[in-house]
Amino acid sequence: GGKASEGVTTLRDLIRIHDSPSFLMEAHDALSAAIAKRAGFKGLWASGLSISSSLGYRDANEASWSEVADVVERMAYAARTPILVDGDSGFGNFNNARLVAGRLRKRGASGICIEDKAFPKMNSFIGGRHPLADIEEFCGRLSAVKDTVPDPDFVLVARIEALIAGHGQDEALERAHAYAEAGADAILIHSRKSDPTEILAFARSWHNRLPVVIVPTKYFSTPVAEYRAAGISTVIWANHNMRAAIAAMRDICNRIIREGGIVGIEPDIAPLEELFELMAYDELAAAETRYLRPK
């Protein structure tokens, strides 16, 4: 496969159909991005849910697109690894979608995912209505992004919410074909069921006209081997850094209260050296010897 100049696999390469699905790991700030990169993930998912949560917002377009873009810029800087940004429903109509996509590209994103819902969207795991966008109108959003960001390395993922909204396979497939015609590079098919039956049924009928991206948050107990067998191109672990952080922070807060101090917790938290390494303090020291000339 083609490699970018610095030996980094491009997002376009990652979403291609391989023998085994690529993984995109959720990150929501520069630190979580650096940790995921260091662990070996070749690409990141800038999750709307996780970024919203880390900023103290609900995943309902409470965060403005420019706040999201600020976070993405810091993530791109810290990880220097391809990032697929969750662009929600595009923050409005075709005009907002193309504006946001272009700006995200400038801020270091390698691609944007746009879902076929209205603005403001609501997180797909919250019950209630998830009104779908009109197919033609949503295709306009997709082609506007394609025409505005013609960079062949910038990936456009079209996300289908038909199954989330309670429609059937026919609706999902009709939308997928329309979005392929409109210029999408990949199709994200989402589900909130606890088993992957509807996702796998979609994949069987779709025949990989475009690569298929999935988000197994609710159907977490399915082994990746099943996605490989189904020809899934990319699996997004969409919120697992954030949920790990919540669990770790909750436990350490509870322990410091319960134990009345920090005597016992040191072995269970990251050493400061690890933080300094993640944020490349050694690079600053090297730069100082070069640029801070002694008087």
Per the omega criterion (within 30 degrees of 0), is the bond before 223 cis?
A: no
**Interface with Mg ion (CB under 5 A), residue from 21, 43, 48, 140:** 48
Question: Which of positions 51-70 make contact with ligand SPV (CB under 6 A)?
Answer: 59
Check residue 239 for interaction with ligand SPV (CB under 6 A).
Answer: yes
CA distance 26 to 36: 8
Stretch that binds ligand SPV, among 63-71, 118-126, 175-183, 198-206 (CB under 6 A): 118-126
Q: Is 216 in the site for ligand SPV (CB under 6 A)?
A: no
Give SS3 for 59: coil
Neighbours of 210 (CB within 10 A): 19
Contact 172, 202 (CB under 8 A): yes
Amino acid at 117: K
- Nearest approach in angstroms of CB 238 to Mg ion is 7
Locate 194 and state its tokens. 């606890």
76 binds ligand SPV (CB under 6 A): no
198 binding partner (options ligand SPV, Mg ion, none; Cβ < 5 to 8 Å by kind): none
Which one among 21, 31, 63, 86 touches ligand SPV, defined by CB under 6 A? Answer: 86
Q: What is the closest distance, in whole angstroms, from the C-beta atom of residue 263 to ligand SPV in the complex?
A: 38
Residue 294, classed as helix, strand or coil, is: coil
- Whether the ω angle into residue 21 lies within 30 degrees of 0, i.e. cis, is no
Q: Does 217 bind ligand SPV (CB under 6 A)?
A: yes
Q: Which residues pair with 294 in a beta bridge?
A: none
Among the residue ranges 47-55, 131-139, 199-207, 284-292, the one whose residues contact ligand SPV (CB under 6 A): 47-55
**Residue 114: helix, strand or coil by DSSP?**
strand
**Coil vs helix vs strand at 237:** strand
**Is residue 86 involved in binding Mg ion (CB under 5 A)?**
yes
Q: Does 26 bind Mg ion (CB under 5 A)?
A: no
Residue 189 is encoded by which pair of tokens? 């098919």
In whole angstroms, give the CA distance from residue 134 to residue 175: 10
Tell which one of 22, 61, 81, 124 touches ligand SPV (CB under 6 A).
Answer: 124
Place of tokens 């396979």: 169
Whether 13 is catalytic: no
Q: Pick the catalytic residue: 59, 88, 116, 185?
A: 59
Binding partner of residue 215 among ligand SPV, Mg ion, none, CB cut-off 5 to 8 Å per kind: ligand SPV
* Among the listed residues 10, 32, 47, 61, the single contact to ligand SPV using CB under 6 A: 47
Listed residue (238, 233, 164) closest to 198, CA to CA: 164
Angle at 103 between CA 99 and CA 105, to 5 degrees: 120
CB of 61 to Mg ion, least distance (A): 10
Contact between 10 and ligand SPV (CB under 6 A)?
no
238 lines the binding site for ligand SPV (CB under 6 A): yes
| Under 8 Å between Cβ of 258 and 52 | no
Asked if 48 is part of the footprint of ligand SPV (rule: CB under 6 A), the reply reads: yes
Q: How far is the CB of 39 from ligand SPV (least distance, A)?
A: 18
Query: Per CB under 6 A, does 215 bind ligand SPV?
Result: yes
Residue 123 lies near ligand SPV (rule: CB under 6 A): yes
- Residue numbers annotated as active site: 59
